Chains A and B, each alone.
Chain A
Amino acid sequence: MDAQHEHAHEGVNYDGIVGPALALGFAVFIFAISFGVLCVNAGGSVPKAMAMSLLVFTGASQFSAVSVIAAGGTAVSAVVGALLLGSRNAIYGVAVAPWLPGSLKYRVAAAQFTIDETTGMTLVQNSPARKKRAFWVTAASIYGFWNVGTLIGALVGNSFDTQKYGLDVAFPAAFVAMVAPLLATRKAQLAGIGGAVVCLATTPFLPIGAPIVMSAIVALIALVPTQRKTQST
């Protein structure tokens, strides 16, 4: 964290950061165990599952890549789909960068931890000091839980018969949990429905995994103006 010890916080109140950060960490822990199990069952290994969680470190993208590989999809569609899903982290970077000034090395390091949870926790704080603290505390909590969870899942993963216990359904169940908070706006709901339709409609003839990449095109509906005055004529 800071290079120098902070002897006093100069009256800054840091309450209400560690608790929520740990709660988020526990939620992520469950996803991470699922990810570890599914990754080794999709032909991954413990080192590969760990490399994914340590280096990729953005959950939805990791699940997406493993899901496509598990279905027999190509490496290219697995990677492209996962990176499309990870593109939102670039937006998050722009949102949190003003609160995390520092050297180039510091900012590049902070970028690796810029994901849904750290961004959310940072932006809701009400002072620059609290924002910076929340970012790093949440980063530590999520990174720890995510990687320990992945290790546990990967180590026990091969001892399950995934078909017998229905563990293949951990993929869609996790995706449902991830997408639910995103469907708050009309446009997001339309994007979700559109993505689902594109996927099912293109599955019979596109290479496996490609329908996932194709579904991203639905996001272009963001460019359609929201006012609909002309339709009432």
Chain B
Amino acid sequence: MSWTVVLVLSLGAFLLKVFGFVVIGDRKFPPHVEAVIALIPAALLCALIMKDTFTAGHDLQIDARAVGLVVAVLGVWRKVPIWLVIVLACAATGITRAIS
């Protein structure tokens, strides 16, 4: 994690916020553009979940992380508090690694 990444990301994230709030401001985005932007988080977050659970470099693999993911999904589905979801998911993976 270089300072370049930190600073470019800081500037980019800020410019996106300013673009909507100040540049577009009281006007509107074209509805199609807004609809596409609104769907990006769902696609990207699910992609990140896959990457962080089922990939190692360029390889696809199922390991102890999958156990943690199952626990996280169950916890969020059952509306367990977020802090407990994260703790339980990590613990599930840690325990799976310890016993396998």
The smallest C-beta distance from A95 to any residue of chain B, in angstroms, reads 8
Number of interface residues of B (CB under 8 A): 77
* Contacts across chains A and B counted by CB atoms under 8 Å: 319
- Which stretch of A2-10, A105-113, A126-134, A140-148 is in the interface? A105-113
Q: How large is the interface on A (under 10, 10 to 19, 20 to 34, 35 or more residues)?
A: 35 or more
The smallest C-beta distance from B38 to any residue of chain A, in angstroms, reads 7
A30 to B3, CA, bound (A): 25
A44 to B38, CA, bound (A): 30
Residues of A near B17 (CB, < 8 A) are 58, 86, 89-90, 92-93, 111-112, 114
The smallest C-beta distance from A106 to any residue of chain B, in angstroms, reads 10
Q: Residue of B at shortest CB range from A27? A: B82
Contact of A203 among B22, B26, B60 (CB under 8 A): B60
Contact of B16 among A83, A177, A222 (CB under 8 A): A83
Question: Which B residues lie at the A interface, using CB under 8 A?
Answer: 1-10, 12-14, 16-22, 24-29, 32, 34-55, 57-60, 64-65, 68-69, 71-73, 75-77, 82-83, 85-86, 89-98
